[in-house]
Amino acid sequence: MHVSLVHYLIVSAILFSLGLFGVITRKNAILVLMGIELILNSANINFVAFARYGGLDFNGQAFAVFVIILAAAEAAIALAIILNIYKRFKSVNVDEINSLKE
Amino acid sequence: MNLFDFVFYFFALIVIISASIVVFSRNIIYAAFSLLFTFFGVAGIYVLLNADFLAVVQLLIYVGGILILLVFGVMLTNKVVNVDIKTGTMQVLPAAILVAAIAGTLCGIFYATGWLVVEEIPENTSTIEKLGEMFLTNYLLPFELASVILVVALIGAAMIARREKSEKITTSDKR
């Protein structure tokens, strides 16, 4: 079967599912961040695949660049927050940080 | 199966296998390093999709920036010298069921939909010129906003992560 749009979409669907699984199951906050990066990458694959095959032309690639910019900003801020959480709780496990819960 | 298909399956395998290691490995350092291969594989897929500029940006920003940031985060928040770098998981079974359902639905939809596929091969020129034109005409406002967002985010991150000198770690509440 010749490689076409569907192949790229299925790769990105699998990547999205793996990222979602990581976000849900991981305890360590940094690994949750890695799962979010996987999800953003899968979205980017979709944008670029539609830019090549779906007639989206260069708009798709421009959107992918914006996604990468926001991913960089998000990773920087999230890591700063995680460092602060570590300073306060001495742990970055998301299931132990429950001070707001009664 | 020609060379293009072979290269595509190669990169797709790299992406999926290394992403599985990121998700399933219990060692954080292994996860971080296989994230490197995931980003490389995605860059290869961009090249196959005629997006050369995006592939280079992917390597520069993800591999050179975000991954280094994540590895620094791992090193600053875990005891690397000890063996205490394993991490636990939670709610594995419900998450597996949910994610399998979502993946099956997505793949089914992608497979069943009759996409309007434009099969023409674009001319083999660089995409940088067209993208640059687009950023300075159609996407001028989002482009400038993105630069402002980056400045605000980086200054904010530096402010949040800053270590205040005269502060008792245990008592003070403002942080």
- DSSP codes, A29-44: HHHHHHHHHHHHHHHH
Asked whether residue B30 is assigned to any structural domain, the reply reads yes
What domain range is B143 assigned to? 125-164
User: Which residues on chain B are in Cβ contact (under 8 Å) with A95?
Assistant: 90
Asked whether the predicted pLDDT for residue B1 surpasses 80, the reply is no
The lowest-confidence range among A14-18, A88-92, B69-73, B169-173 is B169-173
ipTM of the complex: 0.91
The lowest-confidence range among A9-13, A32-36, A46-50, B124-128 is B124-128
CB contact under 8 A, B106 and A79: no
Note the Cα A43 to chain centre separation in Å: 8
Asked whether residue B95 is assigned to any structural domain, the reply reads no
Mutation to test the A interface, candidates B8, B21, B60, B66, most A Cβ within 10 Å: B66
CB contact under 8 A, A62 and B117: no
The reply to whether B66 and B129 lie within a common domain is no
Which residues neighbour B134 within 8 Å (Cβ) at sequence distance 6 or greater?
A58, A59, A62
pTM over 0.90: no
Asked whether residue B108 is assigned to any structural domain, the reply reads no
- Length of chain A as a residue count: 102
Asked whether the predicted pLDDT for residue B174 surpasses 60, the reply is no
Q: What is the mean pLDDT of residues B123-130?
A: 79
Asked whether residue B102 is assigned to any structural domain, the reply reads no
Instruction: Name the band, by pLDDT with cuts 50, 70 and 90, for residue B145.
Output: very high
Asked whether the predicted pLDDT for residue B175 surpasses 50, the reply is no
Cβ atoms of A69 and B60 within 8 Å: the answer is no
* More confident site: A102 or A59: A59
* More confident site: B85 or B156: B156
Boundary of a domain, candidates B88, B116, B142: B88
Which residues neighbour B173 within 8 Å (Cβ) at sequence distance 6 or greater?
none
Residue B137 has a pLDDT of 93
Cβ atoms of B156 and A77 within 8 Å: the answer is yes
Per the structure block, which two tokens stand in for A31? 């690994």
The reply to whether B20 and B66 lie within a common domain is yes
Q: What is the mean pLDDT of residues B116-120?
A: 75
The lowest-confidence range among A10-19, B58-67, B74-83, B154-163 is B74-83
Q: What is the mean pLDDT of residues B26-40?
A: 91
Residue A62 has a pLDDT of 92
Domains of chain B: total: 2
Strand partners, A28: A93
Boundary of a domain, candidates B33, B68, B88: B88
| Closest by Cβ to A55, choosing from B42, B116, B175 | B116
Asked whether residue B106 is assigned to any structural domain, the reply reads no
| Closest by Cβ to A37, choosing from B66, B142, B158 | B66
Could you count the other beta carbons within 10 Å of the beta carbon of residue B132? 11
Cβ atoms of B111 and A38 within 8 Å: the answer is no
CB contact under 8 A, B42 and A59: no
- Residue B46: CATH number of its domain: 1.20.120.1200
Amino acid at B174: K
| Closest by Cβ to A58, choosing from B20, B66, B130 | B130
Instruction: Name the band, by pLDDT with cuts 50, 70 and 90, for residue B101.
Output: very high
User: Which residues on chain A are in Cβ contact (under 8 Å) with B20?
Assistant: 18
Boundary of a domain, candidates B59, B88, B117: B88
- Domain A5-89, what architecture? Orthogonal Bundle (1.10)
What is the per-residue pLDDT across B40-94, written as a single tens digit (0 to 9) for each? 999 999 999 988 899 999 999 999 889 999 988 888 887 665 555 667 777 888 9
Mutation to test the A interface, candidates B121, B130, B160, most A Cβ within 10 Å: B160
Asked whether residue B82 is assigned to any structural domain, the reply reads yes
What is the per-residue pLDDT across A39-90, written as a single tens digit (0 to 9) for each? 999 999 999 999 888 877 788 999 999 999 999 999 999 999 998 888 888 8
User: Which residues on chain B are in Cβ contact (under 8 Å) with A19?
Assistant: 19, 23
> In 3D, which of B19, B54, B77 has the Cα closest to residue A65?
B54
User: Which residues on chain A are in Cβ contact (under 8 Å) with B103?
Assistant: 13-14, 16-17
- DSSP codes, B112-125: HS------PPPPS-
Touching B: A residues 13-72, CB under 8 Å: 13-22, 24-28, 30-31, 33-35, 37-38, 41, 44-45, 48-49, 51-55, 58-59, 61-62, 64-66, 68-72
Q: What percent of chain B has pLDDT over 90?
A: 50
